Structure 1
Amino acid sequence: MIQQKLHVLFKNKWVKRASIAIVAAVLFAVVFYISIYLGAFGKLPNTSQLTNLKQAEATQILDKDSKLIGKYYIYDRQPLTYNQFPKHLLDALIATEDVRFYDHNGVDNISLMRVFFKTILFQDQSSGGGSTITLQLAKNLFGRDKHIAFSTIINKVKEAIVAKRIEKIYSKQEILTLYLNTVPFPDNTYGIESAARKFFNVSATQLSLPQAATLVGTLKANNYYNPRRNVQSSTTRRNVVLQQMLKYNYIDQNQFTQAKQKSVKLDYQSFNHDLGLAPYFRAQLKKELATTLQGYKKPNGEAYDLYKDGLIVHTTLDSQMQKYAEQAMQSHLSKLQQDYEASYGDKAPWQTNKKLIDKAIKTLPEYKRFEAMDLEHEQIIDSLSIKHDVQLFDWSQTKKHNISTIDSLKHHLKFLNTGMIALDPKSGAIRSYIGGIDYRFYKYDHVAQSQRQVGSTFKPFVYTAAIDNGMEPCTYFSPEAITYTDYKNWTPTNSGVSDVDPHINYNLEKALSQSLNTIAVKVLNQVGIDKVLKQAKKLGITSTLPNQPSLALGVAEINILELAGAYACYVNNSQSVKPYFITKIEDKNGVEIASFKPEVNPDKAYNNFTRQVMLQIMQSTVNSGTAARLRSTYGLSNNIAGKTGTTQDNKDGWFVGITPNLVTVNWVGNDNYNIGFKTTGMGQGANSALPIFAKFYQKLNADSNYNTITKSRFESPSSEVLEALNCEEEKRDGFFKRLFSKKDNQRQFNKDN
């Protein structure tokens, strides 16, 4: 009877057609699935590949106290182990993303049926999704391919196959670990550890319940629930996560209420290469690492990849000191920039000097690109005059403006720039490093790359050579100008001094502390240029120095790193040091790859008597000389020695500050050497560079963690040194000498003695 009815039923053409269609659909689905399984739409990872999952891991840059200060990465990812995850983080994830995680084998069939009936058939959007943590992991690990048709279905099937394979290989704990270490969070951040450090400046192990719920909440839509960009949406989503945790008994009502009442407070840390702490340091460090790692191989013989292998780089930088240095620089230069622009008024060279502007335009990459296309100069200028949206730097607010490339050039041409380094003089370890005012707009590093004239900061080396070669500290010189006939009648003068009493003479301490040019040249003349050049070499200065009398006035162009290493001698037993960045490099498991020790010159650059005398003289520079405003204006009572420096036409301002346990070098000037300060009063090192050091030390003084630096004291000079300096700073010629001495303001320069 039943067979008869079926026979009749299937004789109906519509039933017959429907049956054929169903069978065809099933066959198609089976063939379709098998073709995906066999790799017709892209090869699936096999068991071996899944067992040996390799994920690119960010290289971590740590400061001297192992605090994270930056990363090098393709994907910003840092892995943790399962035991390092807080329980409330795991609970938040499971309650929100996959409540049946422990009950399925990678694909949750019950959830899929719920989605099919409620969401697709009954359009109930509150039913939730059918994706499991394991399915998401498969997508995170292997991405999705684009196909001509059925891309979504193909990718879903592939992920289901991979998810089931993952479940066979890994335990549930291992799957959660893989997921949390690879899942994408907002702002191109991969893995919970990187997200925790970026948004809350803590390790994932320290995430509070509200913080964990906030980050888990972003997984639904990275951009929309980004707590940095959409605080309200992020808070609402966080509360949904907390509600899910309450619903599934992961937290109680009291915990829910307390967590929900807390606002989302970020401590955002950008590890973008152009932003964040010490960007110039990190950029230079990357160059150092690229060279260094060439000499090392992995155990399997492969080269290390700075962006993928999860290396751990321990550096010498002190992150808190770096923050103080950057704050001091920004505080001073933002104000100095206003004064600088006001001093030029309507006649600013970056706006009115056509020759200077045209020359600068020709250095632009855009100009060179058009030039390579055989465009005429006028055509290039027309192209560069077209307005478009350009991001402009400004101390008050950096934002986009609709201006031309040429206008952008003029804008950025006006800014003063800077270079600053602070190092441990005993080892050369760099503690703070500022290569410029803003790495986004000024990539040129004024610490590692720049060589500028050092001005009067070179004078101590001249005096050091003189004393070490037997000149008494109480040797007296007249500040009166002399014309050197064998050097084109060159007549060095003292900055800001018009009338000089020819019968007043100063000892070396007075002459150097007041930075008198005329006496510096006379000291060089007496000791000899060759001996000063040899002295500079002993100090570790390798830059080519001019073999001419103007050497005494600092016309030499020297790198900041070299200058700092040379000045370290005065508080390092007369031994120069080579500034260095890295203490050790480890692989991702903490196994040491390489370590680096201080490079201290074993040979003394001068004797102890010379060193102590020079240290006393440079303390006078701070106490009563050109750097006296450290005491009078900024109220610093630290033991400080130092030297200001200003170059010809006020192009460069310098200050070198020496304390027993820290040597600091500051430079300020315009990148375009044709633009100097308008006046000496503004451009002199005491005004342009010294305040950065002063504000920096004010911050160090206020932090007891730096007492070993700020409260350190110079060694007591020997009785021999005290006796050698025990003389009047100045003396006047006697009556008969004034009466009968013949004035002679011309002489030849002694190249060497």
Structure 2
Amino acid sequence: MAKKQVKKEQDNTTTFKKIVKWFWIIFAGGIASIFLLFLLASWGALGEMPSFEILENPQTNLASQVLSSDGKILGKYYLKDNRTPVDYKELPKDLVNALVATEDARFHDHSGIDVRGTIRAFAFLGSKGGASTISQQLARQLFVGVRSRNIFQAGTQKIKEWVIATRLERQYTKEEIITMYFNIYDYGNNADGIRSAARIYFGKEPKDLQIEESAMLVGMFKNSSLYNPRRNPEGVLNRRNVVLAQMHKYDYITKEAKDSLQKLPFKIDYNPESHNEGLGTYFREHLKGFLKTWVKDNPKENGDKYNIYLDGLKIYTTIDSRMQSYAEEAVEEHMKKLQAEFFHQNTKKRNKNAPFAKDVEEKSIVNALDRAMRQSERWRVMNEEGKSEKDIVASFDRKTPMTLFSWTEKNNRIDTIMTPRDSILYSKFYLRASFMSLEPQSGQVKAWVGGINYRNFKYDMVKQGKRQIGSTFKPFVYATAIDQLHLSPCDSMPNGPFCIEEGKYGLLEPWCPKNSDGKYEGMRTLRGALANSVNTVTARLMDKVGPANVRALAQRLGVESEIPESPSIGLGTPDITLYEMLGAYGTFVNKGVYVKPVIVTRIEDKNGTVLYEFVPETRDVLSEETAYTVVNLMEGVTQSGSGRRLRHKGLEKVAVYKEIITGYPYEFKNPIAGKTGTTQNNSDGWFIGMVPNLISGAWVGGEDRQVRFASTTYGQGAAMALPIWGLFMKKCYADPSLSVSDGKFPKPKDMTINVDCSKTTTKDPNDPKDPDEDDKLDGIDF
């Protein structure tokens, strides 16, 4: 019995030893297997792993930033990822605390893998929270990708995350890991990374985020698609409050602060960032063309080309964000009123050809619509798909849902159902506009508005669009005459009818221009003739200097558009861009020195290395005395000519249809030089105005020249374009930080040309003695 008992105890001991032995074998084997699994994963046996070099420099798509001269982000270039990185010091403390409290409370205590969290996750099968650390989540975002639904593949991905997380922890500091995590995350709505998210959802930089705003953005880490502030505000609010609760749980905020913050309502300030939205849309599109040329001519050291959508370049532009904003506001404010009057005058009852003018032939209208169809995106796409012309044309007569432009609707957009053909006609009803402003001394462009709405009307009328320039060309004729003949603004010429005979300058018939006011009597000083755009005086000057010399001067002033050697160019028949005209006018203010307009001052790569710095392109064109004399002449335009409404106080109460002409209280007292321009049949209205350190110009007209006002009352440059300049300058003068000059134009010493007409015996009886004594505007009788 005793022997059996001893034997039983011995057997039990042996069994226990075997169990212990096998436990340790299994345990050691498990540890070895796990170690081997991790080792294999690190060798790439479970799939490609990032190299040391890639870990040191993770490749993420970085949007290139377009920066204004006053340090604001005008926009970005990106294909998919609108990402601009920030440094750790730019992250507010509350944002970092919210992340740690919510996603990884022991972040500062582990080396990439939270062992306690992992054991808890296994023990409770994830019901009490997962175990992914911030480092693991970063590894997934950077290198692993979306979690697979296949259990085996998901397990493999998890192992890879663990391995990469530990490597990241060895490679980077905790602060760098947090920074990368905030920079890499996709918050939806083109908000890639924390900087884009802060700007898009709250209109501010990350460093300026409030606690509740930080909590909302951290809450989105759970699932930015589900917790989208625009689509699911209630869910986002609840998630924000969970984050605030976590911050209290880990002593980052007090209970009182938590309770107070949780009671705050959900609030965002949505500022979409896309190529169609934001400030300076037309400018950014033009800049893109500049950058594509620069990229082509300036490769990287290894021969690769820079990618403006992926390489995170910083493009420092000359645009001033304040002036750009004022310019866009001025265009919108005036064009809303002008468009209302155009609609009023062109109802079908008043004009069966609307929006085309009453005198336009039906054939011209049909051709205009056909041309618009063939230039449309619909035509291009269907043509590339191999559709027949018959099918393409038929598609323009089938109603389809679309979004169109409207000044009166929210966000200037209206959803409707319409045939594409009718939508083309609808869009032609809208008058177009452009505006540009630059510093004459540096050539730096400060504001650029290429149209009324980039989303709907993408053609840029600052640099792409060339239109007949009208009387704004006349200063080139006067400048040539002053330069060659040493004429004075006080010199007089006959105002009678004048013709240049057949054969001269290649004319096939006599050229006899008419004055717009129909008056041909007496003498006119050059100052009075330019101020009131007297065509016969301009024609006499053209005959004295010759069109070839005027053409040559315009070209030296930077006009690259084609200018024929014909005397009619003096009245503004050439098609020229607003961009060219402002560069040319800048020469007059800049003492006769032409400075080519510039839009970029420098370009840096993502590390801050300067890749490009601009070098001004300048040339001497006129003497300082001649340039000043031309400016002095153009001052007369705003003192007693077509631009004198800039001196008026405006009317407080006016009828709607008169408001575009009389309702703007400009009341400028400072010296202003400028010139209006109105083309044949009122197709184009221009105004270019100058003060000593800023030149700005505006153009207004229809997409087609046949779309126009019926009368000069509304179709002249002083009514269509000048108000935009006036509104813009009022806004600029109201902002002292811009330092826009309100002083006199610098006068050269030892002037030999007389510009003080008060001392001359010859007077121009048609000029008012005091610009304020005549309340009639350009002879228009209301």
TM-score, normalized by length of structure 1?
Answer: 0.86
Q: Does 1:447 align with 2:462?
A: yes
User: 5+ unaligned residues in a row in structure 1: which ranges?
Assistant: 9-24, 733-753
Shift of 1:39: 4.6
Q: Does 1:679 align with 2:711?
A: yes
Q: Does 1:100 align with 2:106?
A: yes
List aligned pairs for 1:253-272, cutoff 5 A: 253-263=255-265, 265-272=267-274
Shift of 1:28: 12
Asked whether the 8 Å contact 1:58–1:73 carries over to 2, the reply is: yes
For the residues of structure 1 that align with 2:42 and 2:9, how far apart are their CA atoms? 40
- Match 1:53 to one of 55, 58, 67: 58
SS at match of 1:534: helix
- Match 1:662 to one of 691, 694, 701: 694
The equivalent residue for 1:629 is 645
- The one-letter code sitting in structure 2 at the alignment partner of 1:523 is L
Shift of 1:191: 2.0
Shift of 1:38: 5.8
Q: Does 1:616 align with 2:632?
A: yes
User: 5+ unaligned residues in a row in structure 2: which ranges?
Assistant: 1-7, 16-29, 357-361, 651-665, 767-782
Asked whether the 8 Å contact 1:454–1:654 carries over to 2, the reply is: yes
Deviation track 1:502-536 (CA, whole Å, cap 9, x = no partner) reads 44221111111001222212221122212212222
The equivalent residue for 1:730 is 764
Q: Does 1:358 align with 2:367?
A: no
Cα pair distance change 1:445/1:41, threshold 3 Å: farther
SS at match of 1:101: coil
Q: Does 1:309 align with 2:291?
A: no
For the residues of structure 2 that align with 1:545 and 1:415, how far apart are their CA atoms? 29
- The one-letter code sitting in structure 1 at the alignment partner of 2:691 is T
Asked whether the 8 Å contact 1:429–1:598 carries over to 2, the reply is: no
Q: Does 1:698 align with 2:730?
A: yes
The equivalent residue for 2:658 is none
List aligned pairs for 1:41-440, cutoff 5 A: 42-74=47-79, 75-116=81-122, 118=124, 127-144=128-145, 149-150=150-151, 151-263=153-265, 265-299=267-301, 302-346=304-348, 347-350=352-355, 353-371=365-383, 377-397=389-409, 398-440=413-455
The equivalent residue for 1:16 is none
SS at match of 1:190: coil
Shift of 1:189: 2.0
The equivalent residue for 2:778 is none
The equivalent residue for 1:494 is 515
Asked whether the 8 Å contact 1:57–1:73 carries over to 2, the reply is: yes
Asked whether the 8 Å contact 1:609–1:721 carries over to 2, the reply is: no
Q: Does 1:575 align with 2:593?
A: yes
Asked whether the 8 Å contact 1:145–1:155 carries over to 2, the reply is: no
Q: Does 1:457 align with 2:459?
A: no
Asked whether the 8 Å contact 1:427–1:599 carries over to 2, the reply is: no
The equivalent residue for 2:572 is 554
List aligned pairs for 1:519-598, cutoff 5 A: 519-598=537-616
Deviation track 1:247-284 (CA, whole Å, cap 9, x = no partner) reads 11011234334544555554444331111010111111
For the residues of structure 2 that align with 1:563 and 1:3, how far apart are their CA atoms? 109
For the residues of structure 2 that align with 1:290 and 1:469, how far apart are their CA atoms? 42
SS at match of 1:103: coil
TM-score, normalized by length of structure 2?
Answer: 0.83
Shift of 1:399: 3.1
- The one-letter code sitting in structure 2 at the alignment partner of 1:659 is V
For the residues of structure 1 that align with 2:77 and 2:105, how far apart are their CA atoms? 35
The total of aligned residue pairs comes to: 707
- The one-letter code sitting in structure 1 at the alignment partner of 2:685 is G
Cα pair distance change 1:146/1:393, threshold 3 Å: same
For the residues of structure 1 that align with 2:385 and 2:210, how far apart are their CA atoms? 58
- Match 2:746 to one of 715, 736, 741: 715
Asked whether the 8 Å contact 2:477–2:541 carries over to 1, the reply is: yes
Asked whether the 8 Å contact 2:674–2:689 carries over to 1, the reply is: yes
- The one-letter code sitting in structure 2 at the alignment partner of 1:616 is N
For the residues of structure 2 that align with 1:172 and 1:238, how far apart are their CA atoms? 24
Asked whether the 8 Å contact 1:311–1:587 carries over to 2, the reply is: yes
For the residues of structure 1 that align with 2:201 and 2:384, how far apart are their CA atoms? 45
Cα pair distance change 1:712/1:90, threshold 3 Å: same
Identity level (%):
36
Shift of 1:244: 0.8
Cα pair distance change 1:114/1:204, threshold 3 Å: same
- The one-letter code sitting in structure 2 at the alignment partner of 1:506 is R
Asked whether the 8 Å contact 1:473–1:725 carries over to 2, the reply is: no
SS at match of 1:399: strand
Cα pair distance change 1:546/1:396, threshold 3 Å: same
Question: Which deviates further from its counterpart, 635-644 or 95-104?
Answer: 95-104
Question: Which deviates further from its counterpart, 721-730 or 545-554?
Answer: 721-730
Shift of 1:484: 4.3
Shift of 1:157: 3.7
For the residues of structure 1 that align with 2:384 and 2:611, how far apart are their CA atoms? 45
Shift of 1:375: 5.2
For the residues of structure 2 that align with 1:3 and 1:324, how far apart are their CA atoms? 97
